[in-house]
């Protein structure tokens, strides 16, 4: 009976996760800091990488942290009602970040929220993601390639770690993340993607 009652919270966890994930922290913070509309800067993306293009590194770091934490928070809130609600809360947060209702469903690329959800659901895999990201970034100096490589590895690592349900969730996340990085993939293939630390001319 208790499990059945808790199942009633599953759609609520999904909805709350979506609303939380939809908060465009990058857009809000840049406006509050007097940088204008983030969508008119650089790539027009609302994530931390584009916030960095304002030249405000602390603001970009805060955006990264908040986008990550909204994924973790959605999972932890859902977890109070069971593992299914935790997974659905994380799913909602990731979809909310990619497709935020508040700004016409045009959101970020999802890397920070991906890590945040992973941290909430199974933290060792989140540490593995960060380790892979750092390794690839150091070797290639491509931030996008590091994110793509780490996200590709995570579903396999989760299966190896005995987490098949979470692995399936992150397989979906990885497909969506690759879709959102289509432009980056194109530039990588053409050798036109900007490297970490490269000065713009």
- Express each pLDDT in 8-35 by its tens digit: 889 999 999 999 999 999 999 999 998 8
Of the candidates 181, 122, 196, the residue with the CA atom closest to the CA atom of residue 154: 122
Positive or negative, the Cα torsion across 145, 44, 182, 114? positive
What is the pLDDT, as a whole number, of residue 4? 45
Q: What is the H or E stretch that residue 21 is in?
A: helix 10-21
Give the residue extent of every domain in the chain: 1-118, 122-201
What is the pLDDT, as a whole number, of residue 127? 97
What is the pLDDT, as a whole number, of residue 1? 33
What is the pLDDT, as a whole number, of residue 2? 40
How far is residue 74's CA from residue 69's CA, in Å, rounded to a whole number?
8
Q: What is the H or E stretch that residue 146 is in?
A: helix 143-160
What is the pLDDT, as a whole number, of residue 52? 84
Is the full-model pTM beyond 0.85?
yes
């Amino acid at each position: 009976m208790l499990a059945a009652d808790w199942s009633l919270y599953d759609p609520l966890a999904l909805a709350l996760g979506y609303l939380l994930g939809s908060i465009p922290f990058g857009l809000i913070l840049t406006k509050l800091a007097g940088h204008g509309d983030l969508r008119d800067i650089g790539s027009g993306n609302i994530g931390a990488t584009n916030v960095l293009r304002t030249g405000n590194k602390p603001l970009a770091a805060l955006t990264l942290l908040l986008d990550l934490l909204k994924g973790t928070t959605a999972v932890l809130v859902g977890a109070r009602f069971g593992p299914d609600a935790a997974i659905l809360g994380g799913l909602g947060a990731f979809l909310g970040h990619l497709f935020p209702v508040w700004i016409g469903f045009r959101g970020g690329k999802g890397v920070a929220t991906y890590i945040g959800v992973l941290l909430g659901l199974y933290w060792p895999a989140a540490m593995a993601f960060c380790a892979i990201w750092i390794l690839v970034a150091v070797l290639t100096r491509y931030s996008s390639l590091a994110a793509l490589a780490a996200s590709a590895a995570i579903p396999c690592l989760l299966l190896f770690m005995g987490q098949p349900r979470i692995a399936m969730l992150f397989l979906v996340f990885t497909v969506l993340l690759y879709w959102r990085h289509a432009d980056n993939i194109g530039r990588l293939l053409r050798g036109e993607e900007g490297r970490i630390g490269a000065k713009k001319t």
